[in-house]
């Protein structure tokens, strides 16, 4: 210890100088590292190759954007099954045999499997019996092949839609979903490449060219994860959204039903009842649009392609999958709860939705049986029209939930509401058919 009036010893001075020098070096290294991270974050990824227009091979895009490419290729992985979905192609007809009864006479009664990842979008479509055994238009390729933007450019959208699918497949379809379906090859910005989405949004009064980046993180998904139908003669791909004018209100099953009633479109006639029917496809965007996440500006990509940090870079995870497989990044960024609690919330909503769905299914099955009994007893199509209409509306609402991918989680209240109305309409159809049966 230095006493008053005495000078510090040389060794103490040397120790203090070394300490200050070490602190100075450490602070300098820290500032340099921070500046490097800032520079890294601010710098656009280097583009080593020029991506040609209509390039479909994701490996070519991956030369410039390797992080996104690596995660996209993980959509090739299978083997995970969540409570109601997953990336295993399990048989959904075997999982719920009532589906086959509900779709009697339609292609979905032949084969209907759980979807695998984007990597398999074209592979699985080529092998499904619905396409191999039933004649389908080229319209089917719109959402399964990255070759579509090129075909629209060379053939024209109208001709591509009308070309038989198997002819198109043999000559022109080579690659499933790829980078160019959602991104510009010039700067990787999000872009819409499918005319059906642009047309449908325009009918709602929305110009997609004015969309924000956050809106685009939903819109690029909504190009395909939607309800659609093929126009009878032209086979044009159409989304039935023109009755859904207010973007903030979302798209309800009543909006879709009203559209179909005005348009008069029918997908097929039920082979047991003889009634005209519509098969819902995969209305994920529609169901999401009425949910709490949509109301709060959360995009599809926020949950299914959440951002991750790689160094200073914020990268969108292109391993598109169920948030149940990625709760940490998909949910806990906003919800400060444990993974177990979040998983329980999701599964509880799904279980309750499934419970309501089972009630609707029982009612629809009984309605079909009652209509068939009345028909066999001699009731005419004119006499059965009210029962037909009620059955169709009931099954439309049941299918609105069954065909979308979240078992109601995207919009729990809307899913429950649709299923409640479905059960009620099916019981009304059953009563009407029973009344006709008693008159025969």
Q: What is the mean pLDDT of residues 69-98?
A: 95
Reply yes or no on whether the pLDDT at 121 is more than 90.
Answer: yes
User: pLDDT tens-digit profile of 254-302?
Assistant: 999 999 999 999 999 999 999 999 999 999 999 999 999 999 999 999 9
Reply yes or no on whether the pLDDT at 36 is more than 90.
Answer: no
**Percent of the chain's residues with pLDDT above 90:** 86
Q: What is the mean pLDDT of residues 111-138?
A: 95
Q: Is 240 helix (H, G, I), strand (E, B) or coil?
A: coil
- Which pLDDT band holds residue 54 (cuts at 50, 70, 90)? very high
- Which pLDDT band holds residue 12 (cuts at 50, 70, 90)? confident
Reply yes or no on whether the pLDDT at 353 is more than 60.
Answer: yes
User: pLDDT tens-digit profile of 209-232?
Assistant: 999 999 999 999 999 999 999 999
Residues 6 or more apart whose CB falls under 8 angstroms from that of 60 comprise 49, 51, 52
Any idea how long the chain is?
440
Domains of the chain are: 78-116+190-321+336-438 (1.20.140.10)
User: pLDDT tens-digit profile of 130-162?
Assistant: 999 999 999 999 999 999 999 999 999 999 999
Query: Exposed (0-12), middle (13-18) or buried (19+): which is 4, by Cβ within 10 Å?
Result: exposed
Reply yes or no on whether the pLDDT at 409 is more than 50.
Answer: yes
Reply yes or no on whether the pLDDT at 344 is more than 60.
Answer: yes
Residue 135 near residue 164, CB atoms below 8 Å: yes
Q: How many C-beta atoms lie closer than 10 Å to residue 110's C-beta?
A: 16
Compute the mean pLDDT over every residue in the chain, rounded to the nearest whole number.
93
pLDDT given for residue 314 in this prediction: 87
Q: What is the pTM of this model?
A: 0.89
pLDDT given for residue 23 in this prediction: 74
């Amino acid at each position: 210890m230095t006493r008053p009036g005495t000078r510090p010893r040389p060794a103490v001075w040397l120790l203090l100088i070394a300490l200050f020098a070490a602190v100075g070096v450490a602070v300098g290294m820290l500032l340099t590292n921070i500046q490097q991270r800032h520079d890294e974050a601010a710098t656009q990824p280097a583009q080593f190759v020029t991506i040609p227009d209509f390039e479909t091979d994701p490996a070519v895009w991956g030369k410039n954007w390797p992080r996104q490419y690596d995660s996209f290729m993980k959509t090739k992985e299978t083997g995970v099954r969540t409570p109601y979905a997953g990336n295993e192609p399990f048989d959904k007809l075997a999982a719920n045999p009532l589906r086959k009864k509900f779709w009697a006479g339609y292609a979905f009664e032949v084969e209907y499997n759980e979807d695998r990842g984007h990597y398999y979008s074209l592979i699985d479509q080529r092998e499904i019996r619905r396409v191999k055994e039933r004649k389908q238009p080229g319209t089917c390729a719109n959402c399964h092949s990255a070759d579509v933007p090129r075909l629209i450019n060379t053939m024209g959208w109208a001709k591509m839609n009308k070309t038989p699918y198997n002819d198109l497949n043999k000559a022109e379809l080579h690659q499933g979903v790829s980078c160019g379906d959602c991104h510009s090859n010039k700067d990787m910005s999000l872009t819409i490449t499918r005319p059906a989405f642009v047309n449908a949004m325009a009918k709602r009064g929305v110009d997609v060219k004015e969309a924000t980046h956050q809106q685009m993180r939903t819109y690029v998904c909504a190009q395909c994860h939607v309800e659609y139908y093929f126009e009878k003669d032209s086979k044009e791909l159409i989304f039935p959204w023109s009755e859904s004018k207010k973007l903030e209100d979302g798209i309800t099953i009543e909006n879709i039903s009203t559209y179909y009633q005005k348009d008069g479109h029918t997908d097929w006639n039920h082979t047991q009842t003889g009634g005209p029917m519509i098969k819902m496809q995969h209305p994920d965007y529609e169901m999401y649009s009425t949910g709490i996440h949509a109301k709060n500006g959360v995009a599809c990509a926020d949950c299914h392609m959440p951002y991750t940090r790689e160094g200073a870079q914020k990268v969108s995870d292109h391993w598109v999958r169920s948030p149940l497989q990625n709760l940490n990044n998909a949910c806990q960024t906003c919800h400060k709860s444990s993974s177990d609690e979040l998983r329980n919330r999701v599964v509880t909503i799904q279980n309750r939705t499934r419970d309501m769905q089972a009630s609707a299914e029982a009612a629809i099955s009984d309605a079909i049986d009652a209509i068939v009994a009345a028909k066999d007893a001699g009731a005419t199509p004119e006499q059965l029209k009210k029962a037909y209409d009620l059955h169709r509306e009931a099954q439309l609402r049941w299918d609105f939930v069954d065909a979308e991918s979240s078992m109601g989680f995207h919009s729990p209240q809307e899913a429950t509401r649709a299923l409640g109305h479905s059960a009620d309409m099916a019981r009304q159809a059953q009563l009407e058919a029973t009344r006709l049966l008693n008159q025969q």
